[in-house]
Copies of this chain bind each other. A is one copy, B any other.
Amino acid sequence: MNATIAARVNILFASETENAEDWIPLLERSLPRDRILLRPEAPIDVALVATPPPGTLENLRGVKLIQSLWMGVEKLLADPALPKGVPLARLVDPGMVAAMSETVLAHVLDWHRQHYAYRAQQHERRWHRHRQYLAADRTVGLLGLGELGSDAARKLLALGFNVAGWSRRPKAIEGVKCSTDLRSVASMSDALVCLLPLTSQTKDVLNASVLGKIKKGGCVINLARGGHLVDGELIAALDSGHLAHAYLDVFEPEPLPADNALWRHPKVTLTPHAAALTDARTAVPRIVENIERLRSGRPLLNVVDVERGY
């Protein structure tokens, strides 16, 4: 690879969703030798992509690296125009990882401190205090123990919560009850948080069987992808009184259509896929690291395993 990369790299920025003005000045400052292009007006070495404009992927056959600007790459992998054989890297942005943990804590604490219930009471101007639980009385189950799950686990443990975690492959994280048995993790959990990549194996993972194993009065927090959740089975688990609340950030499709029942469900708190956004300030150093690795022929970081799907 070393021999094929010129000292000066042409970098295409191709995104219909990310703001070029947030990225280009930081990229130019960090990569002064290279050229950052908004259109493929020269042979491209590296493409930075997130929802690339139609026709972009078709023209990336000769590039050395496609670097996603997001952590989730299931849409790129599903696109038949994605060139085979070109390394595709996920973005592991420390700012985005921290943002995701903030959102996990915000929702876990909203449920744990019963703020969802107090908001409903405020609407009725009703002053009524509920029994308080200690963090040590609660178990938070994390689905996914990669970069996101392990950071959230550490921060939940620091607040005194018990933490259980599910991953496809066996993992060991200090203080976390790690398991590869999804049902056993769900049945230990008061709050179940989905942070998984969307693959054929994780689609519909939040279904009636798993939701029914969460402890009564618990909650579900889906911050991963809409495809992880079977909406109708969640609504049934909320309406039966088994689950107290759901916090949903992701939907299928997005934006969530205005006539979808989730918008108005009294036990659902919705956010518009805003749980954790890439921040160019923390992401650019990671992208620069991969470009410097490419330039010097060292192994690239966070290359996607196409078979595995992430």
Interface size on A, residues (CB 8 A): 47
A125 CB contact (under 8 Å) in B114, B130, B264, B269? B264
Q: Are A132 and B277 in contact (CB under 8 A)?
A: yes
In the bound complex, how far is the Cα of B127 from the Cα of A263, in angstroms? 10
> Which of A24-32, A97-105, A139-147, A203-211 has 4 or more CB atoms under 8 Å from chain B?
A97-105
A106-B115 contact, Cβ under 8 Å, with A132-B279, A258-B125, A277-B132: yes
Question: Is there a chain B Cβ closer than 8 Å to A158's Cβ?
Answer: yes
Q: Are A274 and B130 in contact (CB under 8 A)?
A: yes
Question: Is there a chain B Cβ closer than 8 Å to A273's Cβ?
Answer: yes
In the bound complex, how far is the Cα of B129 from the Cα of A256, in angstroms? 13
Q: Are B269 and A132 in contact (CB under 8 A)?
A: no
Q: Are A98 and B158 in contact (CB under 8 A)?
A: no
In the bound complex, how far is the Cα of B122 from the Cα of A132, in angstroms? 28
Question: Is there a chain B Cβ closer than 8 Å to A295's Cβ?
Answer: no
In the assembled complex, which residues on chain B have CB atoms less than 8 Å from the CB atom of A158?
Answer: 155, 158
Name the interface residues of A110-131: CB closer than 8 Å to any CB of B: 110, 112-115, 118-119, 121-122, 125, 127-130
In the assembled complex, which residues on chain B have CB atoms less than 8 Å from the CB atom of A255?
Answer: 127
In the bound complex, how far is the Cα of B130 from the Cα of A132, in angstroms? 33
Interface string of A232-272 (1 = CB under 8 A from B): 00000000000000000000001110100001100001111
In the bound complex, how far is the Cα of B258 from the Cα of A125, in angstroms? 6
Question: Is there a chain B Cβ closer than 8 Å to A135's Cβ?
Answer: yes
Residue of B nearest to A98 (CB): B160
Q: Are B122 and A263 in contact (CB under 8 A)?
A: yes
Question: Is there a chain B Cβ closer than 8 Å to A95's Cβ?
Answer: yes
Question: Is there a chain B Cβ closer than 8 Å to A59's Cβ?
Answer: no
Q: Are A132 and B99 in contact (CB under 8 A)?
A: yes
Question: Is there a chain B Cβ closer than 8 Å to A109's Cβ?
Answer: yes
Question: Is there a chain B Cβ closer than 8 Å to A159's Cβ?
Answer: yes
In the assembled complex, which residues on chain B have CB atoms less than 8 Å from the CB atom of A101?
Answer: 159
Q: A110-B110, A134-B282 are in contact. List 14 more A-B contacts (CB 8 A).
A: A95-B134, A99-B134, A102-B112, A103-B109, A105-B105, A106-B112, A118-B272, A118-B274, A122-B270, A125-B264, A127-B272, A129-B274, A132-B277, A158-B158
Interface residues of A (CB under 8 A from B): 95, 98-99, 101-103, 105-106, 109-110, 112-115, 118-119, 121-122, 125, 127-130, 132, 134-135, 155, 158-160, 254-256, 258, 263-264, 269-274, 276-277, 279, 281-282
Ranked 5 nearest A-B pairs via Cβ: A127-B255, A106-B109, A132-B277, A127-B272, A125-B263
17 sample A-B contacts, Cβ–Cβ < 8 Å, listed by A number: A95-B134, A98-B135, A99-B132, A99-B134, A102-B135, A103-B109, A105-B105, A105-B159, A106-B113, A106-B115, A115-B269, A118-B271, A118-B272, A119-B119, A122-B270, A125-B264, A134-B282
